[in-house]
Structure 1
Amino acid sequence: MAQQKFCHMVGVLLLGLSLQAGAAQAVKSLPSETPEKFTPSVDSYDFVKREVMIPMRDGVKLKTFILVPRSATRDAKAPIIMTRTPYNAAGRVSRFNSPRLAAVVPQMHDTNVEAGYIVVYQDVRGKFGSEGDYVLTRPLRGPLNPTKVDHATDAYDTIEWLVKNVPESNGRVGTIGGSYEGYTTVMSTVNPHPALKVAVPFAPMIDGWMGDDWFHNGAFRQGAALEFIYGQQSTRSGSFKWWWDSYDIYDTFLRAGSAGALAKTRGLEQLGFWRAISEHTSYDSWWQEQAVDKLLARQPLKVPMMIVGGLFDQEDIYGSPALYKALAPKDPNGELVHLVMGPWNHGQGRREGRSLGALEFNGDTAGWFRNKIMQPFLDHHLKDAPKPNTPRVLVYETGANEWHEYDHWPRSCANGCAQKSRPLYLLSGGRLGFEAPQAGESGYDEYISDPAKPVPYRQRPILPMSAANSGWGEWLVDDQRHAASRTDVLVYQTEPLTEAVRLAGQPIAQLFASTSGTDSDWVVKIIDVWPDEVPDRPSMGGYQLMLSADIFRGRYRADLSKPQPLTSNEALPYSIALPQVNHTFLPGHRIMVQIQSSWFPLYDRNPQSFVPNIMFAEPASYVKATQRIWRTPEQASSIELPVVAAQ
């Protein structure tokens, strides 16, 4: 009997386990509550987004996003404004998750959206959703590009497709964008499609050796370039991120030694663009044949263009005025080519422009520009709006905080103002003055430049430019007292001004300098020193505001394309063109000039002994040097200032 009960209990247990297993099986077979394909309800959106792959002439297809406002229809057609980007078009058209087009696209398009434009973003070939091979700033077809395609042909083919396949389009297209997107905007004007009616490049990359992203006058911009190249070329999607092994990147670069040594630790030798620029460190034909200003100077001017730049652009300060200078002679009446220079950093003209670092401006200068200057210009060419009174040149004047119109730039003024170059001389005792050194005066000022302790380009700790709190966009307006206190930085300044001094144009440093080494860098900075006390803004007391500054690598003094060693201890003349300014030094302020021989780690260190390629200089090549700036009547170092006479 006991055995029967036991067997019965076992049977019940097994049955229970079987039922539980069945229940578990039933749970596993529950249908998914997620559909195989979900279709969002977007009826409340004020735009329609289309994703297409547009074929190019070589068969490669480029991922393109077309955002059509609901106000644009087959009967009420609208113009297209297009941007071609290496920075992920999908991300560019999803700034916020919003049913409103103005919130979805970059702020640059705020007035475009209000005007009812169709907005188009496209991944350039080889990046993100587009097919094809990626070449960073792909050169135009020719000696450096033997293929049949470039950014100009891709823009042409894209416009051809858009005007035929977007039924809401009125058949007119404008291109717009900043930085790399500014470069592709400019490229769209080369052999342009007939439907391309206007272009607005913001801070375009124009000449990467002379003064944009990669070099400035031969000095390599390692602090920004290495990280950027790594992110752009290591993968199609930019999924590999550069890493740092110190909080203060000054330490990372100093420990690495040369730029090439640091690049090797990150595997950059695998990347084509790094290999190219590390081989072409001089201004040789490789650079000259892809300098956009030189290329466009040889092209017919067919597309009206508004070139937009920033007076404090920390990345592409050279490009906008250089492009205007190249194109202006083709437009003697000032109807096709316009230049706008605002008080902005890189890209700030596309966002809000009320302030920059410690500087405060008269309202939202960027929003005012887009609304009052840019949009009427676009509407005229894309919508047959009345012709606006667009200034040929419009530049914001810092110090006085007001806009000025010019007939040309940088050497002519509107309204008959008198402008001339006035030398501001470096004098004994750290003085600056408009009177040249007197007969009988002799001398120089000297400092020891030690590559083991280079001058930081901003107050340490220095964070990576990509760090959220790096302040990278503000460093050109940093207080320069951190440098003025160093013994390896020469400082000259005027007495407090008794009347305003207004500058409009390009300062040029005319130095007589010698070094005990066989190579040297020279950094020149023009600074507005605020009064010791500023009652309404106490934090600005004594502020040293950098207005115009640049670096020059001595080996290129005689020939930019052929580096040559410097003759030790011989005073040699240097003419260094500095970034352009439009500024008034107010009464009570001082004009200051600082001179140094390193600007680290933004620029790589000069070993100060001549080596074939500084990118790969060995540790033993870095030596101390005695640097001298001469200030005699025969060798009078000065800064040529574009002074505007008081009216």
Structure 2
Amino acid sequence: MFFKKIILNIGICTGFLAGEVSLSVVSAGAHEWDMPAHFHVVNNGFDYTRRDIMIPMRDGVKLHTVILLPKNVRSAPILLTRTPYDADQMAHNQHSSHMDVALYGYDNMSDVVTEGGYIRVLQDVRGKYGSGGDYVMQKPLAAPKPGGTDESTDAYDTIDWLVKNLPQSNGRVGLLGISYDGFLVLMGLVNPHPALKVAVPMNAMVDGWRGDDWFHNGAFREQMLPYLYEQGATHANSEIWWSAHYDDYDTYMNAGSAGGVGNARGMQQIGFYRNLLAHPAYDNFWQAQAVDKIMARQSVHVPTMLVHSLWDQEDIYGTMATYYAMKPHDSQGDMLHLVIGPWFHGGEIRKGAQLGTIEFGSDTGVYFRQQILAPFLASALWGKSAQTPPVVAFVTGENRWESLPAWPLVNLDSPPKTADMTAAALRPDHKLIFTKQVGPLNASVAYVSDPARPVPYRHRPILAMDGAGSTWHNWLVDDQREASGRTDVAAFVSDVLQAPLTVRGQPYVHLKAAISGTDVDFVVKVIDVYPDEVADQPELGGYQLMVSADIFRGRYRNGLAKPEAVPANIPQMYSFYLPLANHTFLEGHRVMVQVQSSWFPLYDRNPQTFVDNIFLAQPEAYKAMTVQLYEDESRVDLPVVNRMGATP
């Protein structure tokens, strides 16, 4: 049978005139493959040009780099993001001819990038996706020696290549990124390239043991195992975490210890997983790679904007720790800036009018990008006039932005000065009393902590972090009423406030407790209790909003690097900082403190019997115990200020 092949050419293929129609008849017996040997992508209608480059590093390894050049761009700055999350996907998330649409999704700063006229560069780190070399999770700085490479040297070599090989640029480069990408920004500030003129690390991974992705004060965040599984098993994240339960609570309970979860999935093959199991305490492995300690040794020569989210469910520790470390080295006083917003992890580049049920009265994400970030970048990269305040912070509760000359510095290894704090004292009648002096009491409150029925960190069923229907990014604003009604949660609540109470800074926990076991975790939450009825938003009637909360593993009460068994039935002191709060408890609200000993399955269960390594705890070690809180010294010190910023 004869057939006809009609080729309709609209003028986009090389060698044909626009509008010309060509007909060809293929005779019987002839054959032509449907797929060409090489398909040439035609993008004449695009408002940008894309280039895929393999940039060589000093040791010869080449890193896959995607460059997006706006149409007719001339003498423009470069915005660079280095990432382990697939530069190719970030560069054409929606396969559009418009640069802002192509970038929207992973990037979500497309409004700043395209409206600012920047050249956008995205690069895969070593060993991930299109790049050569070997991947190391949060690769530590290399020892000083010729030819050594790390994320700092790779950032330097990348910037050096870009400014020498992109004639469309003005020779100025900005580094920006969120989370892991934010960690990579901070690494770029170590011995920075002269062309690096601005850095914006947002929600950066800084110290994975003290309070970011992997541990919080020694308690392991076992719901990060799926991330580690997919990120660490293959170059392109092609292996997908599997589960046999709809409710993650059941997934982790049935597996026993966190090590049991990982070992059952063959994670011993992944180097970083082996490191987790080998380093459960805050030893030199963790201390040497803590980025805040690294930044404390650097002078601040590059204008840097640190961005912190008040409800960051992943990296709530790092930004503030970095600010405290870097600020004393800001010798000029105008290099380091801090932005604090009412967001979840990365929420600053998304819509920011509300988080879960909590509304903020305006789109705080748009405000940050257009009124804070865009002018800051334009000043450093285009030379435009802009005055960015040293600190811009959103006050939740009141829902307003404020500008401050500085943020109070905190030494996270030492308790705060008592004079700077107001004690919220825990009382045996479950009352919370505000006082400058905590008087001696002999009473106590007790509860039973049972590893067989740990306190869920949110309402069940608990969906996988990245699963269908998951609201993982909202969990820090979940209503805490369900927890406050459990018998294994001790709740202390104040009288109704007769005037607003503003907390600005990091609360500090003092717990005096005796346990019948030999190890313990303490979860402490500072909560804003709404009035019984809220006229304009009825669902907030009686709502219990976490303002600041964290966990502490009791074996580290005498030192983070040296775990010790807790002596049974002998009162011990447990002291630790909670994450930053910048919140006003409004008149008519109440303040609550909740204390419990599990937060599952976000954090692994403490067996409550001291074992050398909780990752490997056996079933017989998990035992119920009584926890007794003594009110003579148990309190949460709050950094209370009035609306003018003075201590009351």
Length-normalised TM-score, structure 2: 0.91
- What is the CA-CA distance between 1:108 and the residue it aligns to? 1.8
Contact 1:71 1:116 in 2 (8 A): no
Alpha-carbon displacement from aligned partner over 1:606-645 (angstroms, at most 9, x marks no partner) = 011110000000000111110011112xxx2111111112
- What is the CA-CA distance between 1:135 and the residue it aligns to? 0.5
- 2:86 is aligned to 88
Question: Where do 1:30-109 residues align within 5 Å?
Answer: 30-73=31-74, 77-105=75-103, 106-109=107-110
- 1:313 is aligned to 312
Supply the distance in 2 between the matched residues of 1:71 and 1:496 (Cα, whole angstroms): 62
Name the SS of the counterpart of 1:467 in structure 2: coil
- 1:415 is aligned to none
Contact 1:56 1:62 in 2 (8 A): yes
Contact 1:338 1:392 in 2 (8 A): yes
* Matched residue type, 2:635: S
- 1:286 is aligned to 285
Q: Percent identity?
A: 50
Structure with a larger share of its residues in helix: 1
Contact 1:437 1:631 in 2 (8 A): no
Alpha-carbon displacement from aligned partner over 1:62-117 (angstroms, at most 9, x marks no partner) = 110000001413xxx10000001100000001122211111111212321210100
Supply the distance in 2 between the matched residues of 1:395 and 1:622 (Cα, whole angstroms): 43
- 1:362 is aligned to 361
Supply the distance in 2 between the matched residues of 1:296 and 1:508 (Cα, whole angstroms): 24
Distance 1:249 1:84, change over 3 A: same
- What is the CA-CA distance between 1:536 and the residue it aligns to? 1.3
* Matched residue type, 1:46: D
- Name segments (4+ residues, structure 1) moved above 6 Å: 25-28, 436-440
* Matched residue type, 1:299: Q
Supply the distance in 2 between the matched residues of 1:285 and 1:339 (Cα, whole angstroms): 29
- 1:409 is aligned to 407
Q: Which moved more, 1:124-133 or 1:94-103?
A: 94-103
Distance 1:496 1:147, change over 3 A: farther
Q: Confirm whether residue 536 of structure 1 aligns to residue 571 of structure 2.
A: no
Supply the distance in 1 between the matched residues of 2:214 and 2:557 (Cα, whole angstroms): 19
Q: Confirm whether residue 639 of structure 1 aligns to residue 640 of structure 2.
A: no
- 1:4 is aligned to none
- 1:460 is aligned to 460
Supply the distance in 2 between the matched residues of 1:428 and 1:639 (Cα, whole angstroms): 15
Contact 2:59 2:147 in 1 (8 A): no
Alpha-carbon displacement from aligned partner over 1:282-331 (angstroms, at most 9, x marks no partner) = 00011000000101111232221101110000000001111111000011
Supply the distance in 2 between the matched residues of 1:307 and 1:598 (Cα, whole angstroms): 32
Supply the distance in 2 between the matched residues of 1:435 and 1:338 (Cα, whole angstroms): 34
- 1:264 is aligned to 263
- What is the CA-CA distance between 1:426 and the residue it aligns to? 0.6
Name the SS of the counterpart of 1:551 in structure 2: strand
Contact 2:515 2:626 in 1 (8 A): yes
Distance 1:154 1:28, change over 3 A: farther
Supply the distance in 1 between the matched residues of 2:263 and 2:287 (Cα, whole angstroms): 27
Q: Which moved more, 1:392-401 or 1:362-371?
A: 362-371
Distance 1:204 1:53, change over 3 A: same
- 2:141 is aligned to 140
Name the SS of the counterpart of 1:201 in structure 2: strand
Question: Where do 1:198-597 residues align within 5 Å?
Answer: 198-223=198-223, 225-386=224-385, 388-410=386-408, 420-435=420-435, 441-597=441-597
* Matched residue type, 2:203: A
- 1:177 is aligned to 177
- 1:187 is aligned to 187
Query: CA RMSD of the aligned region, Å?
Result: 1.8
Supply the distance in 1 between the matched residues of 2:619 and 2:180 (Cα, whole angstroms): 35
Length-normalised TM-score, structure 1: 0.92
- 1:10 is aligned to none
Name the SS of the counterpart of 2:639 in structure 1: strand
Contact 1:489 1:595 in 2 (8 A): yes
- What is the CA-CA distance between 1:332 and the residue it aligns to? 4.7
Larger Rg: 1
- 2:17 is aligned to none
- What is the CA-CA distance between 1:437 and the residue it aligns to? 8.5
* Matched residue type, 1:58: D
Supply the distance in 2 between the matched residues of 1:279 and 1:479 (Cα, whole angstroms): 36
Distance 1:200 1:631, change over 3 A: same
Question: Where do 1:3-14 residues align within 5 Å?
Answer: none
Name the SS of the counterpart of 2:517 in structure 1: coil
Distance 1:65 1:439, change over 3 A: closer
* Matched residue type, 2:634: S
- What is the CA-CA distance between 1:252 and the residue it aligns to? 1.0
Contact 1:178 1:347 in 2 (8 A): yes
Contact 1:425 1:437 in 2 (8 A): no
* Matched residue type, 1:645: N
Distance 1:638 1:69, change over 3 A: same
Q: Is there any run of 5+ residues in structure 1 with no aligned partner, and where?
A: 1-15, 17-24, 413-418
Question: Where do 1:131-170 residues align within 5 Å?
Answer: 131-142=132-143, 148-170=148-170
Supply the distance in 1 between the matched residues of 2:280 and 2:293 (Cα, whole angstroms): 19
* Matched residue type, 1:187: M
* Matched residue type, 2:257: S
Contact 1:181 1:204 in 2 (8 A): yes
Alpha-carbon displacement from aligned partner over 1:138-173 (angstroms, at most 9, x marks no partner) = 111029x99711111111111111111111011110
Contact 1:410 1:506 in 2 (8 A): no
Q: Which moved more, 1:377-386 or 1:314-323?
A: 377-386
Name the SS of the counterpart of 1:604 in structure 2: coil
Supply the distance in 2 between the matched residues of 1:594 and 1:353 (Cα, whole angstroms): 28
- What is the CA-CA distance between 1:378 and the residue it aligns to? 1.0
Name the SS of the counterpart of 1:592 in structure 2: strand
Contact 2:197 2:381 in 1 (8 A): yes
* Matched residue type, 2:200: V
Alpha-carbon displacement from aligned partner over 1:228-261 (angstroms, at most 9, x marks no partner) = 1101111111000001110001011111110001
Supply the distance in 1 between the matched residues of 2:261 and 2:34 (Cα, whole angstroms): 51
Alpha-carbon displacement from aligned partner over 1:415-446 (angstroms, at most 9, x marks no partner) = xxxx9410011112110011479867421000
* Matched residue type, 2:287: Q
Distance 1:191 1:494, change over 3 A: same
Distance 1:411 1:183, change over 3 A: closer
- What is the CA-CA distance between 1:361 and the residue it aligns to? 1.1
Supply the distance in 1 between the matched residues of 2:555 and 2:602 (Cα, whole angstroms): 19
- What is the CA-CA distance between 1:30 and the residue it aligns to? 2.5
* Matched residue type, 2:288: E
- What is the CA-CA distance between 1:26 and the residue it aligns to? 7.7
Distance 1:646 1:120, change over 3 A: closer
Contact 1:250 1:461 in 2 (8 A): yes
Supply the distance in 1 between the matched residues of 2:203 and 2:254 (Cα, whole angstroms): 33
Supply the distance in 2 between the matched residues of 1:626 and 1:113 (Cα, whole angstroms): 59
- For these two proteins, the number of residue pairs brought into alignment is 609
